[in-house]
Structure 1
Amino acid sequence: MDTYLETERLALRRFTADDADLLIELDSDPAVMRYLTGGNPTAPEVVRECYLPRILAGYEKWGGDLGLFAAYEKDGGAFIGWFHLHPEPEGPLDEAELGYRLRQAAWGKGYATEGSRALLGKAFTELGVRMVWAATMSVNHGSRNIMEKIEMTLADTVPTPSDMEMVEGSEHGGVRYEITKEQWKQQWRGCWHSGRYALGRQGCGHVVIPTGCAGRGRRLGRVRAAAGLAGPRWRPRS
């Protein structure tokens, strides 16, 4: 495995051109897609023709350091979903979005918190990132709890994209959380050992939070990406 990042229980790697079936299966679960499409699956051809090529192009654009990464359990090797860490398409490289989408079988195990915390550490110690942000629906309390567990703070509210108004809770809009490098350094000093988040060491025993595509309407890739157990990435309208 071409490992991008490891935690105590997870290994993250870059996706390859052969991984379409993993993404199709993940997006076929109505529970996973609850806060993205109202439970509707992503069409396989969208994954193959749009999502996956966009993911691979991101590695080229950002030198493999940023993008969307497949996540596996180290014990048994099961695919559990993905995490992402990357800037806006035309945004500054020192501001990155954090997110994830996990299979139902991986929920409730602390994986989202564990992977997200490790990505924050990598962003701030290895990748030159100054600020990390994440967003989700206001009603997605699972996602919001994870943002708060990793010490991100509520920074703003964002409107519901027009193509997501049918999703449960969309009338309440979305929320954006942020954390800067300086804030992270103050909160997690001593919890990052040799480029790896150390679960359970030095008082840091919390257990560690991704996107779409421009095809089939601009909504894919701009608004339908996860930042929560099944929650979307929300962006302020420009």
Structure 2
Amino acid sequence: METDRLVLRPRRAEEAAVYRRLWTERDPRVPPHRRIDAEGRPSVADVAARLGGEPGILAVELKSTGEVIGYCGLLAGDDGPDDEPELAYELLRAAHGHGYATEAGRAVLAWADEQGHRRLWAHVWDWNTASRRVLAKLGFRETGEVERGTAHGDNVLTVRDL
């Protein structure tokens, strides 16, 4: 998949260091199981071993340089219906603020529509205003359904009809 500035393609094991770097850059409010632990896990090798487990998640690569700046794609609905996948994305901090997440998200929405999906959803932390803005730009709406009471903030459910 290509956009004006990006290539979205399957992730490669040799890029595992980039995806591990995402783990190191995560906000401290992100739950511990999604951050690097005291033993330094996941390691680059751990991340590389997991890359094939999410076939709907694609590398986001800059066309101009070939640099991988994160991922974007669809996850099978663990928390939602099987026919309603979750939109997931994460970019390196250096790539924030350039519109790449919105651009990649639009490409994935078109791909999901081509695949015959009727609706997508995404969970987002209430404190993650940048991600909430991206979802709003992509046409997701907050449902009012909130998972409360976690130590890491409230998790807001958003949906988008295709």
TM-score (norm 1): 0.59
Distance in 2 (CA, whole Å) between partners of 1:153 and 1:106 is: 25
Distance in 2 (CA, whole Å) between partners of 1:40 and 1:144 is: 21
Give yes or no for the alignment of 1:176 onto 2:157.
Answer: yes
Corresponding residue number in structure 1 for 2:136: 148
Distance in 2 (CA, whole Å) between partners of 1:127 and 1:84 is: 13
Distance in 2 (CA, whole Å) between partners of 1:150 and 1:130 is: 15
Shift of residue 89, structure 1, vs aligned partner: 4.5
Distance in 2 (CA, whole Å) between partners of 1:98 and 1:90 is: 12
**1:85-234 paired onto structure 2 within 5 Å:** 85-89=74-78, 92-124=81-113, 126-155=114-143, 156-161=145-150, 165=151, 167=152, 170=153, 173-181=154-162
Identity, in percent, stands at 30
Corresponding residue number in structure 2 for 1:69: 58
Corresponding residue number in structure 2 for 1:20: 16
Distance in 2 (CA, whole Å) between partners of 1:92 and 1:52 is: 28
Q: Pick from 62, 65, 83: which aligns with 2:72?
A: 83
Indicate the SS of the match to 2:159. Answer: strand
5+ residue gaps, structure 2: none
The count of corresponding residues between Structure 1 and Structure 2 is 158
Mapped contact 1:27–1:41 kept (Cα < 8 A): yes
Cα distance change, pair 160–87 in 1 and its aligned pair in 2 (3 A): farther
Give yes or no for the alignment of 1:6 onto 2:7.
Answer: no
Give yes or no for the alignment of 1:41 onto 2:36.
Answer: yes
Larger-gyration structure (1/2): 1
Distance in 1 (CA, whole Å) between partners of 2:53 and 2:81 is: 17
Distance in 2 (CA, whole Å) between partners of 1:35 and 1:53 is: 26
Corresponding residue number in structure 2 for 1:214: none
5+ residue gaps, structure 1: 60-66, 182-238
Distance in 1 (CA, whole Å) between partners of 2:31 and 2:132 is: 19
Shift of residue 17, structure 1, vs aligned partner: 2.8
* 1:26-82 alpha-carbon deviations (Å, 9 max, x no partner): 2222xx334424795363445533x443430333xxxxxxx2111111111221111
Mapped contact 2:139–2:160 kept (Cα < 8 A): yes
Indicate the SS of the match to 1:128. Answer: coil
Q: Pick from 49, 53, 56: which aligns with 2:52?
A: 56
* 1:125-170 alpha-carbon deviations (Å, 9 max, x no partner): x212111011111121111111111111111212355xxx1x4xx2
Q: Which has the higher contact order (CA 8 A, sep 6+)?
A: 1
Indicate the SS of the match to 1:95. Answer: coil
Shift of residue 117, structure 1, vs aligned partner: 1.4
CA RMSD of aligned residues (A): 2.4
TM-score (norm 2): 0.83
Distance in 1 (CA, whole Å) between partners of 2:18 and 2:52 is: 15
Amino acid at match of 2:116: G
